[in-house]
Structure 1
Amino acid sequence: MATGSFATSGADLELVGIQKRFPGFTAIEHLDLVIPAGSFFALLGPSGCGKTTTLRLVAGLEDPTRGSILIGGEDVTHRKPFQRPVNTVFQSYALFPHMTVLENVAFGLRRRKMAKPLELAQEALELVELEHLASRKPTQLSGGQQQRVALARAVVNRPALLLLDEPLGALDLKLRRQMQLELKSIQEEVGLTFLHVTHDQEEAMTMADTVAVMNKGRIEQLGAPEDLYELPHTAFVANFLGQSNLFTGPVLEATSHAIAVEVAGTRVLVPKARARKHSGEVTVGIRPEKLRLLTEAPPTTAGVNTLGPGTVTDVSFSGVSTQYQVDVPGADSVTVFAQNLDFGPVVTPGTEVWVSWKVDHGFGLEDSASEEAKFAPELDTATIAVQAKRDLAAELEVS
């Protein structure tokens, strides 16, 4: 891909003490956030957590009840959308069906009376490798191609900050995964700051340098995708970002290196550096793919935790791996992912088994109970499309 004149730097985004209240509820209680220039940042969370509201505040499509928004060090809190160095790629793409691809991309440039709008639009189409489809109408394109046109239309305006509002939600699984890699590649080439809002965990982890997990209007945890996955701080993050086996029990002993927690009558060790609490009741966790499934009681081994015996209650084949549900008395159901190195399941329902894992793979949470996220009703596709076109019009408005 050729970047040409689009290899411009992004800008820092800083949210300071943001609060957003609507009649009857508070969408964001208090939000402080800094996104470095040139980064690919994802806001991840369930419906109703406040992530889309945050994006709309940054775009200028909503006004904060309290707090400040700074882009590149400049306070833009009270600026109109078209006065901000920001563009948005919407889930519905919001393309104009009566215009050609080239005209769609050049639309914002013409509204701003920019010089050589068609030439710049052609460069943007080259960036997303669609220059050969410049004369087609949006209805003649695939979903993935329409998504690229929407991206080109946003990038052509050379914003310091590009907002991605669930941009891949309308694509099928295979195309969505392809576009995840392509979007990341484009971001690296153009050097803009990307703020990506999504509820898709895989999408966030695949594309973003940094992920912020939101829940009920606040950020529960922020960091690199691998850090959030390997060392979640709360039960919500542990369960929302992938799957986790969580066990709660009293701390029996704490040394300088580890804590011992009683789980189902067994001492389970967790490295002290990987535990958020070191006394009282502690919830410890282990990811399903870190577990080994054993059909005989294993010998006691240093650095290894073991639970069992338990009984296999369910076996689900998913191609790459097989998922086992194991009922361990006192520990509820334990989920195990086993890679399919052999043909067929290793064990069948009713088999007596033990599960084990390396002590270094476990983690301890700062809370002891998993709270369900508060979900808001999803908008239908038609409503999303209408709203996106209104938001685009607000972004492109000229005085």
Structure 2
Amino acid sequence: MTSTAGTAGSAAPVGDQADSGADLELTDVTKSFGDFVAVDNLSLTVPSGSFFALLGPSGCGKTTTLRMVAGLEQPTSGTIAIGGSDVTGTRAHQRPVNTVFQSYALFPHLSVGDNVAFGLRRSGKSEIARRVADGLDLVELGHLADRKPGQLSGGQQQRVALARALVNRPSVLLLDEPLGALDLKLRRQMQLELKRIQTEVGLTFIHVTHDQEEAMTMADTVAVMNRGRIEQMGTPAELYELPRTAFVANFLGQSNLVPGTVVDRVTKSGLLAVDVSGTRILVPEVRSVRSSGGVLVGVRPEKLRILVGDQEPTPAENVLGPGTVTDVSFMGVSTQYQVEVRGLGTFGVFAQNLLGGSTVATGAEVRLAWSVDFTFALDGADAPDEGTVDLDDEP
């Protein structure tokens, strides 16, 4: 369903870019259901006019956080402020927010135009007509105003739900897995469409999702949640290129993580020397969460390259191996290799198909090389598989 919360004078009219939505601030927010703590002492600030994503697996607390912002749940403790005003104790309809859920909840007996107008009943008729027209134009559905929801595709219905939320001129628009019911191709199209709309209207968007690609495609800032807390927050590029925990490294994309021990600090070059099962691996100190003791050395699959035969690494590369290619999967734009390195486990390697397909066969003996600059190191106390998908837990 799409909530029909009250309007906010400071929010940007649909189609205008003059003003941004309000900032959102959560301070020490905790939400408990009996003995279960769904959100644990959460504090964050979302700047006005930004596209902010709460990313995490099922049960991490992201939807509960969104429902507290919407006023559908009350925090056990802590405060929530929108545009500098404390809204913690106010009801949902009194807050300057609207929510778009995964289920569109359009009224099947009403036309598209009447669905969009549903929350504008207190406005004058001419004002309603203008705002509905502006809202439908924004989502590029003005030509379908007289149709019924049943005559629309899933993507069109989601855009109607979005227009219905936007015409109320909320200070903050909340999006709870809004693209989850769409197929992959349409979902990707809608990701770009949502970003376009957010940029055009300039409102504050808070997007909850478990889809890493969705968060990285649309959001200016991503907060990765785990067990009711924020593990790490930053731009998509920052989180991907420099994760600070094993959970973030594994949940946001894929990572190869192997245990090692820091054995030396190469002070002049700003590098740490790490012993990984007898091999010396160099890690930029600024890319390591600790400079001594046990660490998890990490590298993303697309940063690796496979060395076969007499191919040699460059002086600026780390090398592990030998290993054996155990699986080759053609993925279209790339080929995914699985390489078993004795004593360290299996490494994933993504290679662009610049030459038209796989170039290394299953069973080949290879080595793995990658730039020192792309190496990162995490706390050795982290579990290497933290944040990976557990197939036994999937519905």
- TM-score if structure 2 supplies the norm length? 0.92
Displacement after TM superposition at 1:252 (Å): 1.4
Task: Note if contact 2:232-2:248 (Cα within 8 Å) is conserved in structure 1.
Answer: yes
- Number of the residue aligned with 2:276: 263
- Number of the residue aligned with 2:326: 313
Structure 2 gap ranges (5+): 1-12
Please say if 1:14 is aligned against 2:59. no
- Number of the residue aligned with 1:233: 244
- Number of the residue aligned with 1:293: 306
- Number of the residue aligned with 1:244: 255
Cα distance between partner residues in 2 of 1:369 and 1:179 = 35
Please show how residues 132-171 of structure 1 align to structure 2 within 5 Å.
132-171=143-182
- Number of the residue aligned with 2:56: 45
| SS of equivalent residue, structure 2 residue 170 | coil
Please show how residues 340-351 of structure 1 align to structure 2 within 5 Å.
340-351=353-364
Task: Note if contact 1:47-1:378 (Cα within 8 Å) is conserved in structure 2.
Answer: no
1:97-136 deviation per Cα after TM superposition (whole angstroms, max 9, x unaligned): 11110010000011x4455223211111111111110011
Q: How many residues align?
A: 377
Change (3 A) 1:34 1:358: same
**1:339 alignment partner, one of 336, 352, 355:** 352
Task: Note if contact 1:297-1:309 (Cα within 8 Å) is conserved in structure 2.
Answer: no
Displacement after TM superposition at 1:171 (Å): 0.7
Cα distance between partner residues in 2 of 1:251 and 1:114 = 70
Change (3 A) 1:303 1:235: same
- Single out whichever of 367-376 and 231-240 deviates more from structure 2: 367-376
Letter in 2 for 1:166: E
- Number of the residue aligned with 1:387: none
- Number of the residue aligned with 2:10: none
Change (3 A) 1:109 1:378: farther
| SS of equivalent residue, structure 2 residue 366 | strand
| SS of equivalent residue, structure 1 residue 344 | coil
Cα distance between partner residues in 2 of 1:129 and 1:272 = 49
Displacement after TM superposition at 1:269 (Å): 0.6
Letter in 2 for 1:171: L
- Single out whichever of 127-136 and 67-76 deviates more from structure 2: 127-136
Cα distance between partner residues in 1 of 2:173 and 2:142 = 21
**2:135 alignment partner, one of 124, 148, 155:** 124
- Number of the residue aligned with 1:386: none
Letter in 1 for 2:282: L
Alignment RMSD: 1.9
- TM-score if structure 1 supplies the norm length? 0.91
Change (3 A) 1:258 1:224: same
1:305-343 deviation per Cα after TM superposition (whole angstroms, max 9, x unaligned): 001111111111111111111111121101111111123
Please show how residues 9-88 of structure 1 align to structure 2 within 5 Å.
9-88=20-99
Identical counterparts, % of pairs: 66
**2:287 alignment partner, one of 259, 274, 278:** 274
Letter in 1 for 2:342: P
Change (3 A) 1:298 1:232: same
Cα distance between partner residues in 2 of 1:377 and 1:359 = 36
Task: Note if contact 1:8-1:158 (Cα within 8 Å) is conserved in structure 2.
Answer: no
Please say if 1:174 is aligned against 2:185. yes
- Single out whichever of 36-45 and 293-302 deviates more from structure 2: 293-302
1:226-246 deviation per Cα after TM superposition (whole angstroms, max 9, x unaligned): 000000000000000000000
- Single out whichever of 236-245 and 251-260 deviates more from structure 2: 251-260
**1:91 alignment partner, one of 95, 102, 112:** 102
Please say if 1:368 is aligned against 2:382. yes
Please say if 1:330 is aligned against 2:343. yes
1:322-373 deviation per Cα after TM superposition (whole angstroms, max 9, x unaligned): 1111111121101111111123321111110001000001111135324358
- Single out whichever of 190-199 and 87-96 deviates more from structure 2: 87-96
Change (3 A) 1:99 1:157: same
- Number of the residue aligned with 2:296: 283
Cα distance between partner residues in 1 of 2:119 and 2:211 = 30
Which protein has greater RCO, CA pairs closer than 8 Å, 6+ apart?
A: 1
**2:212 alignment partner, one of 201, 207, 210:** 201
Structure 1 gap ranges (5+): 380-399
Change (3 A) 1:330 1:114: farther
| SS of equivalent residue, structure 1 residue 104 | helix
Please show how residues 386-397 of structure 1 align to structure 2 within 5 Å.
none
Please say if 1:216 is aligned against 2:227. yes
